[in-house]
Protein backbone atom coordinates (compact mmCIF):
# COMPACT_ATOMS: atom_id res chain seq x y z
CA UNK A 1 0.00 0.00 0.00
CA UNK A 2 1.02 3.65 -0.24
CA UNK A 3 2.00 4.85 3.22
CA UNK A 4 2.85 1.60 4.97
CA UNK A 5 4.81 2.92 7.99
CA UNK A 6 2.24 5.57 8.87
CA UNK A 7 -0.59 3.09 8.46
CA UNK A 8 1.14 0.64 10.82
CA UNK A 9 1.79 3.40 13.37
CA UNK A 10 -1.84 4.58 13.29
CA UNK A 11 -3.13 0.98 13.09
CA UNK A 12 -5.05 1.58 9.87
CA UNK A 13 -5.86 -1.61 8.02
CA UNK A 14 -6.83 -1.48 4.32
CA UNK A 15 -9.81 -3.73 5.15
CA UNK A 16 -11.17 -0.97 7.42
CA UNK A 17 -11.26 1.55 4.58
CA UNK A 18 -14.21 1.65 2.21
CA UNK A 19 -13.14 2.87 -1.23
CA UNK A 20 -15.42 4.02 -4.04
CA UNK A 21 -14.85 5.62 -7.40
CA UNK A 22 -17.52 8.11 -8.41
CA UNK A 23 -17.98 10.67 -11.14
CA UNK A 24 -16.41 14.06 -10.56
CA UNK A 25 -18.25 17.36 -10.53
CA UNK A 26 -17.53 20.70 -12.09
CA UNK A 27 -15.72 21.64 -15.29
CA UNK A 28 -14.01 18.97 -17.34
CA UNK A 29 -16.37 18.17 -20.17
CA UNK A 30 -16.52 14.67 -21.55
CA UNK A 31 -13.85 13.30 -19.21
CA UNK A 32 -15.92 14.24 -16.15
CA UNK A 33 -19.14 12.89 -17.64
CA UNK A 34 -17.79 9.51 -18.81
CA UNK A 35 -15.18 8.38 -16.29
CA UNK A 36 -15.25 7.95 -12.52
CA UNK A 37 -12.09 9.82 -11.56
CA UNK A 38 -13.24 11.03 -8.15
CA UNK A 39 -12.09 8.85 -5.25
CA UNK A 40 -14.15 8.56 -2.04
CA UNK A 41 -12.56 6.93 1.02
CA UNK A 42 -14.15 6.23 4.40
CA UNK A 43 -12.32 4.85 7.43
CA UNK A 44 -15.05 2.79 9.09
CA UNK A 45 -13.75 2.69 12.73
CA UNK A 46 -13.34 6.48 12.99
CA UNK A 47 -15.97 7.52 10.44
CA UNK A 48 -13.49 9.83 8.69
CA UNK A 49 -14.39 10.52 5.06
CA UNK A 50 -12.28 11.93 2.22
CA UNK A 51 -13.23 12.80 -1.32
CA UNK A 52 -10.63 13.77 -3.92
CA UNK A 53 -11.11 15.02 -7.49
CA UNK A 54 -8.10 17.31 -7.88
CA UNK A 55 -6.49 15.54 -10.81
CA UNK A 56 -7.86 14.04 -14.03
CA UNK A 57 -6.30 10.68 -13.26
CA UNK A 58 -8.07 8.23 -10.98
CA UNK A 59 -4.80 6.75 -9.72
CA UNK A 60 -3.40 10.17 -8.75
CA UNK A 61 -6.65 11.06 -7.01
CA UNK A 62 -6.54 7.74 -5.17
CA UNK A 63 -3.03 8.41 -3.89
CA UNK A 64 -3.93 11.97 -2.83
CA UNK A 65 -7.09 10.73 -1.08
CA UNK A 66 -5.12 8.14 0.90
CA UNK A 67 -2.61 10.78 1.92
CA UNK A 68 -5.36 13.16 3.09
CA UNK A 69 -7.16 10.35 4.95
CA UNK A 70 -3.99 9.37 6.81
CA UNK A 71 -3.33 13.03 7.72
CA UNK A 72 -6.85 13.44 9.10
CA UNK A 73 -6.60 10.26 11.17
CA UNK A 74 -3.15 11.33 12.41
CA UNK A 75 -4.56 14.71 13.54
CA UNK A 76 -7.35 12.95 15.42
CA UNK A 77 -4.82 10.55 16.99
CA UNK A 78 -2.52 13.40 18.07
CA UNK A 79 -5.41 15.41 19.51
CA UNK A 80 -6.39 12.38 21.58
CA UNK A 81 -2.81 11.96 22.80
CA UNK A 82 -2.63 15.66 23.76
CA UNK A 83 -5.89 15.40 25.74
CA UNK A 84 -4.54 12.37 27.62
CA UNK A 85 -1.26 14.16 28.35
CA UNK A 86 -3.09 17.24 29.63
CA UNK A 87 -5.26 15.07 31.85
CA UNK A 88 -2.22 13.29 33.32
CA UNK A 89 -0.47 16.62 33.93
CA UNK A 90 -3.57 18.00 35.63
CA UNK A 91 -3.75 14.96 37.93
CA UNK A 92 -0.05 15.29 38.72
CA UNK A 93 -0.42 18.97 39.62
CA UNK A 94 -3.42 18.20 41.81
CA UNK A 95 -1.33 15.75 43.84
CA UNK A 96 1.64 18.13 44.20
CA UNK A 97 1.95 20.04 47.48
CA UNK A 98 4.29 22.86 48.36
CA UNK A 99 7.08 22.01 50.77
CA UNK A 100 6.39 23.23 54.31
CA UNK A 101 9.31 25.66 54.36
CA UNK A 102 8.25 27.31 51.10
CA UNK A 103 4.67 27.62 52.37
CA UNK A 104 5.90 29.29 55.56
CA UNK A 105 8.08 31.73 53.57
CA UNK A 106 5.09 32.71 51.44
CA UNK A 107 2.88 33.24 54.47
CA UNK A 108 5.57 35.36 56.16
CA UNK A 109 6.03 37.56 53.08
CA UNK A 110 2.25 38.11 52.92
CA UNK A 111 2.23 39.14 56.59
CA UNK A 112 5.07 41.65 56.03
CA UNK A 113 3.29 43.08 53.01
CA UNK A 114 -0.03 43.49 54.86
CA UNK A 115 1.75 45.10 57.84
CA UNK A 116 3.42 47.59 55.50
CA UNK A 117 0.08 48.48 53.91
CA UNK A 118 -1.65 48.86 57.28
CA UNK A 119 1.08 51.24 58.53
CA UNK A 120 0.46 53.63 55.64
CA UNK A 121 -2.97 54.64 56.91
CA UNK A 122 -4.90 57.67 55.70
CA UNK A 123 -3.35 61.10 55.27
CA UNK A 124 -4.53 63.84 57.59
CA UNK A 125 -6.36 66.67 55.95
CA UNK A 126 -4.92 70.15 56.64
CA UNK A 127 -7.39 73.02 56.71
pLDDT of 43 reads 92
Q: Which residue ranges make up each domain of the chain?
A: 4-83
Highest mean pLDDT among 26-30, 94-98, 115-119, 123-127: 115-119
What b-and-e string marks burial along 100-126, b requiring 16 or more CB atoms within 10 Å of the CB? eeeeeeeeeeeeeeeeeeeeeeeeeee
Which CATH code fits 4-83? Answer: 3.30.160.20
In this prediction, residue 1 has a pLDDT band, given cuts at 50, 70 and 90, of: low
Which pLDDT tens digit goes with each residue over 63-78? 999 999 999 999 998 9
Residue 115: pLDDT over 70: yes
Task: Give the span between the Cα atoms of 127 and 123, in whole angstroms.
Answer: 13
Task: Give the span between the Cα atoms of 74 and 69, in whole angstroms.
Answer: 9
pTM equals 0.64
Amino acid sequence: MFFKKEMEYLKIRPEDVEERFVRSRGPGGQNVNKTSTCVWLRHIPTGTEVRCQRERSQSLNRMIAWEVLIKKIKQRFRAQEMRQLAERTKEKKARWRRPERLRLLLVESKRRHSKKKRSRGKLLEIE
